[in-house]
Amino acid sequence: MTKRSTSFETSVRSIKDGDTIIVGGFGLCGIPEKAITALAEHGAKDLTVVSNNCGVDDWGLGLLLANKQIKKMVASYVGENKIFEEQYLNGELEVELVPQGTLAERIRAGGAGIRGFYTPTGVGTPIAEGKEHKEFDGRTCILEEAITGDAALVKAWKGDPYGNLIYRKTARNFNPLAAAAGKKTIAEVEELVEVGQLDPDFIHTPGLYVQDILEGGAYEKRIEKRTVAQA
């Protein structure tokens, strides 16, 4: 029953050109950096990537952008990446902006097997164009479709060989949602412990949702935008 993979390179090898990839993390917090780096080296192209944002120029999903591996980006925020801006303005990158709460719910719905839901968020804006409108208790809502992925890349604090995962603090952001919505979920953890060492009451993602798990070792834990006070 062990789901421990031999390497990140082996785990991402199943990702093909044209696949949809859901990636956990928020900014640079809780991103599966080792799996992203392996995917950049793997070279699969024409990917649709679903994530809160697209990293920075030289780290995170920005590495895939630099390789021109991403055809379409589905995100809620894109403001920290110059390569992203250049590719979008040059017509090389398709972008679907989604309100952050809606994006989270679309991924959660995909993992739960719910095909769509109605929300008032985005009504009266370009977000609502072309979408079904319906009124509930006098309030107009739009239909949003669920998101699932051919693969999901997630990062956790601790995990075991069965794929059970525990996230730490802010890193418990989009990761649990992404883990449930991928056909193949690749989880990297800071510490891989033996089966039985994780308290079942504190497991955030059951191993049912995880196909591959790997220990990432040392992490850089970069700061997306460093701000310092003057002396």
Q: What CA–CA distances, in Å, run from 53 to 14, 22, 49, 188?
A: 24, 11, 10, 19
* Minimum mean pLDDT range among 38-42, 151-155, 167-171, 176-180: 167-171
Q: Which residues pair with 212 in a beta bridge?
A: 186
In 3D space, the residue among 32, 33, 49, 143 whose CA is nearest the CA of residue 87 turns out to be: 49
Q: Which residues pair with 133 in a beta bridge?
A: 142
What local confidence, expressed as pLDDT, does residue 219 receive? 83
* Minimum mean pLDDT range among 30-34, 71-75, 223-227: 223-227
58-93 confidence digits (pLDDT tens): 899 999 999 999 999 999 988 778 899 999 999 999
Task: Please report the domains of the chain, with CATH numbers, ordered by start residue.
Answer: 8-114+147-215 (3.40.1080.10)
Q: Per-residue pLDDT for 130 more than 90?
A: yes
What local confidence, expressed as pLDDT, does residue 222 receive? 75
Q: Are 142 and 133 in contact (CB under 8 A)?
A: yes
In 3D space, the residue among 32, 64, 18 whose CA is nearest the CA of residue 210 turns out to be: 32
What local confidence, expressed as pLDDT, does residue 28 receive? 87
**CA separation for the pair 127, 123 (Å, rounded):** 7
If you write DSSP's letter for every residue of 183-213 in order, what string do you get?
EEEEEEEEEE--TT-S-GGG-SB-GGG-SEE
Computed over every residue of the chain, the mean pLDDT equals 94
Residues 6+ apart with CB under 8 A from 9: 38, 41, 42
